[in-house]
Amino acid sequence: MRSIASTDEGGDGAMNWLDGRVILITGGGSGLGREIALQSGELGARVAIIDTHAERLETTRADVARTVGDCLAMRSDITREEQVVGAIQETVSKYGQLDTVVNSAGVYWKGPITETPIEEFDRVFNVNVRGLYLVCREAAKVMLPRKSGHIINIASIAAERGILHESVYSPSKWAVRGIGSCLALELGSQGIRVSTIFPGGMDTTFWENDPRRLSGQWNPSGMLQGKDVASAVVQIASLPPDVAIKEALVYRPGT
């Protein structure tokens, strides 16, 4: 982990700030987002999830609800401004507040620049950057009057360095890094924590349409498991409000 800041104000030392608080997770129907939702529920959080996949959304909702008795599931497209506004409003209407947002939704494209359709560029940036920005903006509108809240953005190790044939995906995650850095300055003085997480490659449904998986050439042996990255995210989300972690790199030891 890098950039760990702490104020001089004393806290109660509790390591589960999530207990009883409201957490909204985008991409919550599958992969990393699902794992974060499940683990947050196990810690006593009131969980809301957004996804575009109805069946996966319902499965995760039911699994979280079995732990905490309830879960708000919203089929929403984060690239649509009105749907983001509606999802934030529905969460606050149901639970009365919004304490933590995790921007876990993301899409991928890999290929040489000369073979990259501009439609793929637009698709990746619409979800990974525009959608994330809209969620951050609407969450901030709710959190600022209370001077309390936590926005956690999932970037990628691809925002640490250039990667061959990732001239679309990698820059989208560099943008996530930039948004997080700016918002940490803009919102931090007003009680809103902003954290950016940089996971290494994870073996999750994120890769389900990757040609390597479809052709049987997929080798996940060196990859992180989604539940392990989720554990790191939830631990950061559970910290008391007088501690802020701006950036965290999550990787397998020895890699």
Residue 29 pLDDT more than 60?
yes
Do 155 and 179 touch, CB atoms closer than 8 A?
A: no
User: Is residue 173 in some structural domain?
Assistant: yes
Give me the amino acid identity at 117.
P
In a domain, 137, yes or no: yes
Helices (H), the chain: 31-42, 54-68, 81-95, 118-125, 132-143, 169-188, 211-214, 226-237
Supply the pLDDT for residue 214. 56
- Which residues does 14 contact at the CB level (< 8 Å), separation at least 6? 240
Report yes or no on 99 lying in a domain: yes
CATH number at residue 30: 3.40.50.720
Q: Angle CA(51)–CA(139)–CA(62) in degrees, nearest 5? A: 35
Mean pLDDT (whole number) for 137-164? 95
Instruction: Report residue 68 as tokens.
Output: 């905490």
- Cβ atoms 222, 155 nearer than 8 A: no
- Residue 1 neighbours by CB distance under 10 Å: 14
Q: What is the pLDDT of residue 6?
A: 36
In a domain, 218, yes or no: yes
Q: Work out the number of other CB atoms within 10 angstroms of the CB of residue 240.
A: 15
pLDDT digit string, tens, across residues 167-200 = 999 999 999 999 999 999 999 999 999 999 999 8
Number of domains the chain contains: 1
Coil, helix or strand for 119?
Answer: helix
For the annotated catalytic residues, the residue numbers are: 156, 169, 173
- At residue 209 the predicted structure's pLDDT band, cuts being 50, 70 and 90, is low
* Global pTM value: 0.89
Whether residue 7 is contained in a domain is answered as no
Mapped onto helix, strand or coil, the DSSP state of residue 167 is: coil
In a domain, 6, yes or no: no
d(CA 16, CA 10): 16
| pLDDT given at position 206 | 54
Looking at per-residue confidence, does 1 or 100 come out higher? 100
Q: What pLDDT score does 251 carry?
A: 84
Separation CA 151–CA 129 (nearest Å): 15
| Domain carrying residue 149 | 14-250
pLDDT at position 220 is: 59
Residue 64 forms part of a structural domain: yes
Q: Does some domain include residue 152?
A: yes
Rounded to whole angstroms, the Cα distance separating 28 from 176 reads 18
